[in-house]
Amino acid sequence: MGSQRQAQLEYSEFQAAMLDEAKRRRKAAKIIAVLAHFLGRTGEAPLAGLTVADVGCSAGFIADELAAAGAARTFGLDIDVPGLRKADARFGERVEFVCADGTALPFPDGSIDVLVFNHIYEHVVDPDAIMAEMRRVLAPTGVLYLGLGNRLGIIEPHYKLPFLSYLPPALADRYVRASGRADNYYERFRTRRGLRRMVRGFRVHDYTFPVLATPERFAGGELFPGVAGKVARAVLGGMPRAALRALLPLVPTYLWVATIGDLRPAGMPLPQPPDRVRPL
């Protein structure tokens, strides 16, 4: 596929996870908790008065939760037309759903207070162009939430195949086809270094370990459920920061908050506070 990649249309029609309402709402709770901590906001409406946009909203569950968190105006954007139709039918009274490409967002410069870009970059043709466009529309005091998969995560998150994202495109296609889970492997993940390059032009804080270490604070229990979660929380909560940093290249998912201005987390101190990410 390589350079011949095309935009993934009607994504919710062949990726059932996008229609898993309970899971999507749990993810939304985590996103809102991270945003609330960074902004230093508490209460039931941490996004009160803000203009919010979910880029890559699909069926709209996360956008609906953003609206419920008090946003003054909420947008959901995607090229997934079937997903947008479902979203508008259910949530159109409080979310404005727009069919729009992320490389041409329909907003004036500096007009959006909160952007959410959650596990989308690996699906799009040109993530760098979308990042530049989000930087254009983000307000000077705005925040961008980024959920970012890591190419070096051992289990590929969409097809649950080990080392799938490590492979070059042709071999990845053969692997996913042999598994019977898809005809081709479309997704293109980047390593942490590649993601740091992708966020150039932003100031970034890493909430990955704060969420893992204190999931009850960030509604992040689904990251490591059950007994594994208890062990992970105990280990992460007591590890020196230097040791945690050494693990970063292999963490399967990064949770970053990006800004244009020199903003810093305004919430209460955490056992594992957010680290700065140095863009390349």
Q: Which two tokens stand for residue 139?
A: 């307000």
In a domain, 220, yes or no: no
Region 127-133: mean pLDDT is 97
8 A C-beta contact, residue 202 and residue 270: no
* pLDDT, the chain, mean: 89
Q: Residue 2 above 50 pLDDT? A: no
Q: Residue 91 above 50 pLDDT? A: yes
Which of 10-24, 35-49, 101-115, 159-173 shows the lowest mean pLDDT across its residues? 10-24
Domain containing 92 — which CATH number? 3.40.50.150
Overall domain count for the chain:
1
In a domain, 143, yes or no: yes
> Domain range for residue 7?
2-150+189-208+251-277
Q: Which residues contact 185 (CB under 8 A, 6 or more apart)?
A: 159, 164, 167, 169, 172, 173, 175, 176
8 A C-beta contact, residue 79 and residue 7: yes
Q: Which residue has the higher pLDDT, 158 or 239?
A: 158
In a domain, 271, yes or no: yes
Region 148-152: mean pLDDT is 96
pLDDT (tens digit, 9 = 90+) per residue, 10-52?
Answer: 566 556 666 688 989 999 999 999 999 999 999 999 999 999 9
Nearest to 183 by CA among 173, 198, 193: 173
Calculate what percentage of the chain has a pLDDT beyond 90: 72
- Whole-angstrom distance, CA of residue 155 vs CA of residue 4: 26
Region 162-189: mean pLDDT is 95
In a domain, 175, yes or no: no
pLDDT for position 54: 98
Which residues pair with residue 155 across a beta bridge?
162
In a domain, 80, yes or no: yes
- CA dihedral sign of residues 102, 34, 268, 50: positive
In a domain, 177, yes or no: no
8 A C-beta contact, residue 201 and residue 189: no
- Whole-angstrom distance, CA of residue 52 vs CA of residue 112: 6
In a domain, 224, yes or no: no
- Whole-angstrom distance, CA of residue 206 vs CA of residue 125: 25
Task: Compute φ and ψ for 227, nearest 5 degrees.
Answer: -60, -40
pLDDT for position 259: 98
pLDDT for position 153: 93
pLDDT for position 138: 98
In a domain, 239, yes or no: no
